[in-house]
Chain A
Amino acid sequence: MKRHDDGPIKPPRPVRDGVALAAAVGVVGVVFGVLARSAGLSVAQACAMSLLVFTGASQFAAVGIVGAGGSGAAAIGSALLLAARNTLYGPVVERWFRRDRVVVRAALAQVVIDESTGVGAAQTTDADRRRGFIATGIGVYVLWNLGTLVGAVAGDLVGDLERWGLDAAFPASFVALLAPHLRHRPGRVAACSAAAIAVATVPVLPVGVPILLTAVGAAVALIDAERRAGFEPAPEDAP
């Protein structure tokens, strides 16, 4: 298959793609609602988790541990390990909202997650990064919470995620969100090093830790770029 001749892969469109991703997240929210009830949470508790914790992977981990008879402390430990990567997204996102008031930034911090950062960071202008982040962040927040409510109230209507192949939808989404970062060598080096770190550590380390370790890939790419530039400061054309 030959690539089209009209230039490199285009960035995802901020609002349209944010909504598409939010719709898929909404379906997963229904599954979370169902699982939360089967793990013994009340409808109010399931909804409170999605409204207040709002970190999908952490919520699934916490509910899964409690449902399997684990302690609250074990649930908190695993869930927060999974939430820690959102700290790494903060400095990326913060640049797009630097001129906004503290209250606005404090509110936006609640929707700093994989999906919103992904759609934002895939754009080419700051205006589009803001639009992509806000559309995805708010879209995911609304649909994740609606989905949770439906799942918690209506019960087991959807079956499991795996039957619908939804567990493949998210990594595939991140392939689309990663693509624009691969146009420049530093992005390619960062992604390849990170992928290698993940392949080596995912089977052996507790869930959550490998993703934190992949941040080392960014440092590898920076060192590579500086070496190639003859120890000059890193080029600003990093994606």
Chain B
Amino acid sequence: MSWATIVALAAGAYAFKAAGVFLGARLPTTGRPAALVALVPAALFAGIIVQQSIGDGSAAIVATRVLGVAVGGVAVWRKAPLFVVIVVAATVTAVARLTLGA
């Protein structure tokens, strides 16, 4: 990879982040725009969960990943701290793959 590519990636990635922060400052803090902004995390995080769970990998890799995320979800429901959720999800998935030879 050339240095020019890395510089272009860096500039582009920062431009996206900064555009959101500085253009966001122009949005009204009340009414519909504000209500919409407040709902963006709920929407995007749900999308990220789906994308990262089923996004790529063989059937066995996806199935074991979904199992780990589901058990992680149970840990969330049982009010486990985030650290525990991470360890539980990764462990369940790793053990399931070891067992299945996936």
Contact = CB atoms under 8 A, between A and B. Distances in A.
A204 B32 CA distance: 32
Contact of B89 (A58, A87, A169, A221): A169
Contact of B52 (A58, A167, A178, A222): A167
Q: How large is the interface on A (under 10, 10 to 19, 20 to 34, 35 or more residues)?
A: 35 or more
B47 A222 contact: no
B91 A165 contact: yes
B81 to A, nearest CB: 7
Contacts of B25: 94, 98
A168 B5 contact: no
Interface string A108-152: 111011100110010000000000000000000000000000000
A178 B46 contact: yes
Q: Which of A39, A191, A225 is packed against the most chain B CB atoms within 10 Å?
A: A191
A11 B72 CA distance: 16
Nearest to A208: B51
Chain A contact surface mostly: helix
Contact of A190 (B46, B51, B72): B46
Chain B contact surface mostly: helix
A93 to B, nearest CB: 7
A12 B82 contact: yes
Contacts of A154: none
Interface residues of B, number: 79
A158 interface: no
Contacts of A186: 35, 39, 42
Contact of B22 (A17, A105, A222): A105
Given A24-B86, A90-B21, A174-B45, A62 B72 contact: no
B93 A167 contact: yes
B16 to A, nearest CB: 5
9 contacts: A76-B9, A83-B13, A109-B14, A112-B20, A165-B64, A165-B91, A190-B39, A211-B51, A222-B32
Interface of A: 1, 3-4, 9-10, 12-13, 16-17, 20-21, 24, 39-41, 45, 48-49, 52-55, 58-59, 62-63, 66, 72, 75-76, 79-80, 83-95, 98, 105-106, 108-110, 112-114, 117-118, 121, 162-179, 181-182, 186-188, 190-195, 197-199, 202-203, 207, 210-211, 213-219, 221-222, 225, 233-236, 238-239
Interface of B: 1-10, 12-14, 16-25, 27, 29-32, 34-55, 57, 61, 64-65, 67-69, 72-79, 81-83, 85-86, 88-95, 97
